[in-house]
Each structure stands twice: as structure tokens, then as C-alpha cells.
Amino acid sequence: MTWMTWRQFRTQAWIAIAGLAAITITLAVTRPSLTGMYSASGIAACQAHSDCGRLAASFISHVRADGAYPVLYAAGVVVMYLVPAIIGMFWGAPLITRELEAGTWRLAWTQSITRTRWLTVKLGLLALAAMAITGLFSLIITWWGSPIDQAAGLGSPILGNRMTPLLFAGHGIVPIGYAAFAFALGATTGALIGRTVPAMAVTIAIFGAVLLIMPNFVRPHLIPPAHTTAAVSPGYANWVPDGNGLLITGPASVPGAWVLSTSGHVYTGPATRVLQTCYNGPTSTPACGTAFASLHAQLTVTYQPASRYWPLQAYETAIALALALALAVLCGWKIRRLA
């Protein structure tokens, strides 16, 4: 059965390996000059001079100056979303539909092996292959982008830091979990629908939905978020009348963290009456500036700190793997009832 699984799968395997090789070569060729810029920037030793923020910004501006690096960096993220999607559509969906459409299920399932075992071997081996190949993709792409990620962690991002929702699922170990999930999803929709092309369409639709649901509704709550307070920066402050006072809000950022929400507070008193006349913000006149400063306006920031990157990666990967396992069980149930 192991041999048969490999024999039926080898075309897809070679395509995946060729894709991995092409990306490895592209990234390996372009990385030396990126690391050259990184070492020239002196970020590595910035802690000693405590000017990490400035050096990171300078490094990122150099990176941006050569248009190829931001594009490669973004492309790497896109690839990490595409790899599980392609695995789900082209490895998972045809796994069972191909047998059903060609009628070979009647050949395969009348050999001296139960169909449960047939499915277990196929799903197990191919899920491992999907996870291994996606792991390699992620390893190479994450490795290539590590200088940029480090600068982003110091407050100078290209697309955001690695906690940013878009980047979070595009680096690290989370794509491995999604590869297993997408594969199991493809196989299960194939078993339920029975035809390859509709199964592919349903797979990509559900996978896309999961990629939207996870960062918006699940990931923020995997670990109870941390709270901190930050001073409202005068240049970015906003206020709206609220009862007798002013609700003062503004943006906040925590270096390397994923800010989930910021909420302002209502302030009352004479200074707020002065501020109500400052239509162009607290910096428009010295009087406005003084009034704003006297309030010491604070924001409450809800966020996931940078230090939670790996715990969050581990939790989300575990969730994806658990969903994959549940789908595999559903697939097995359907296969036993397929008649």
C-alpha cells in the first residue's frame, strides 16, 4: 500500500519538489546581498548603543530602495498561503474522487485490505508528505526573510512584524498545520462530493474562509490578550464630545506586538473646554498644546506581545492539526458508507 500510495502520487510529488527547488534557488541567490545590507547596518550590535530603532529604520530604507526585496518578501508570504491551498486542491481533492471517477475504487477496495486501512495509509503518508514539503517551504522563506523580520520586530516593518495577521500564518510552523488541514479538507470534500472539480472548488472556498476566521475570531483569544497603557501622541490625537467631557483616542503601537484594539478615555475639566476650540489638533496653538499636555491622556492598548509568537504558533498549528484529524475521521466514516 505504501508503494501504491507513492506510485499514484509521484507526479504531484515531483511538481512540489521542483517548485521548492525553484524557490530555494531564487532565495539563495538573492539572500547574500540582503544579509550584506543587514551586517552593514550594524543592527546585530545595536543593543550596546541602544539605537536599534534608528538602525532598523535605516536598514529597511535600504531594503526598500531595491524594489526586488520587498517584492520577494511579499511573494514569500503569498507562497506560504498558496502551498497549503494547492495541496488541498491538487493532492487532497483528487485522492478519492480520482478512484471514484475512474471506477478503480472497485478494484482497490476488493483487494485483501479494508478500505479503512487503505484510507489510513493514504491519508497518513500524504499528510506527512504535505507537512514535510510545507515545512521546507516555510523554513526557506522564513530564513530568507529573517533580517527583515528582525528589523520589523524593532519597529521598522515592510508589511508588518511577524505577529501581524497576514505574516503570522505565512511564516513559522503554522503553514505546516494548514497544509495538513487543507489536505484532509480536500480528501474529505472529495469523499463527500465525489467529483474532482467541485471538490476542488469547495476545498478552496472553505480553506479561504478558515484563513479569514482564524486571525479575526480565534487567534486573538488563543491566549488572553495583554493590556497596557500608552500616552496619546499629540500629533495623532482625536477627540469627540462625550457627555460633559471629551473622549480622547489615538493610535498606539507596541514594538513587535500585535495590537488588537486601543480604547481612549473620557476627560473632563477646564482643559477639555480649551481643547474643543482646537479644530486643527492639540499642536495648532501653544494654548492647545498646554491644555492637551495637562490632561496626560492615556490609551488602553489590548495586544498580543511579541514574546507570544511561538506559543501562538504552536496553538494555531495544534488547532489546524486537530481539525485535520477530525476531517480524516469524517472521511473514514464516509468511505465506509460509500456504496
Partner 1 sequence: MSAVIEARGLGKRYGHRWALADCTLSVPAGRVTGLVGPNGAGKSTLLNLSVGLLAPTTGTIEVLGGRPGAGPAQLRRVGFVAQDTPVYAGLSVADHLRFAAGLNPGWDAGLARDRIRRLGLDPRQKAGKLSGGQRAQLALALAVAKRPELLILDEPVASLDPLARHEFLQLLTEFTAEQQASVVLSSHLISDLERVCDYLIVLAASRVQVTGPVEHLLATHYLLTGPRRDPAGLPPGQHVISASHAGPQTTLLIRADSPVYDPARTSSQVSLEDLVLAYLNQAAGPTGPRRTLETQQ
Q: Is 4 in the site for partner 1 (CB under 8 A)?
A: yes
Q: What are the residues whose beta carbons fall under 8 Å from the beta carbon of 221, sequence distance 6 or more?
A: none
Q: How far is the CB of 120 from partner 1 (least distance, A)?
A: 13
Degrees, nearest 5: CA angle 281-285-290: 85
Least Å from the CB of residue 114 to partner 1: 6
Stretch that binds partner 1, among 1-9, 48-56, 132-140, 224-232 (CB under 8 A): 1-9
Q: Does 15 sit near partner 1 (CB under 8 A)? A: no
| Cβ distance to partner 1 smaller for residue 59 or 105 | 105
C-beta closer to partner 1: residue 107 or 293: 107
Reference 282, options 300, 264, 295, 263; nearest CA is: 295
Among 61, 104, 229, 307, binds partner 1 (CB under 8 A): 104
The single residue among 113, 213, 223, 318 that binds partner 1, judged by CB under 8 A, is 113
For 301, phi and psi rounded to 5 degrees? -105, 125
* Binder among 49, 106, 195, 227 for partner 1 (CB under 8 A): 106
Pairwise CA distance, residues 337 & 299, whole Å: 57
Interface with partner 1, residue 13, by CB under 8 A: no
C-alpha cell at 140: 526557506
Which secondary-structure segment (H or E) carries 91?
none
Question: CA separation (Å) from 50 to 111, 149, 249, 307, 338?
Answer: 69, 19, 30, 20, 65
Return the range that interacts with partner 1 (CB under 8 A); candidates 19-27, 97-105, 155-163, 212-220: 97-105
Told to check if 109 binds partner 1 by CB under 8 A, we report yes
Q: Quote the CA–CA distance of 190 and 201 in Å, as a whole number.
A: 10
- Residue whose cell numbers read 487532497: 92
**Least distance (Å) from partner 1 to the CB of residue 194?**
13
Site residues (vs partner 1, CB under 8 A): 1-4, 7-8, 102-107, 109-115, 117, 337, 339
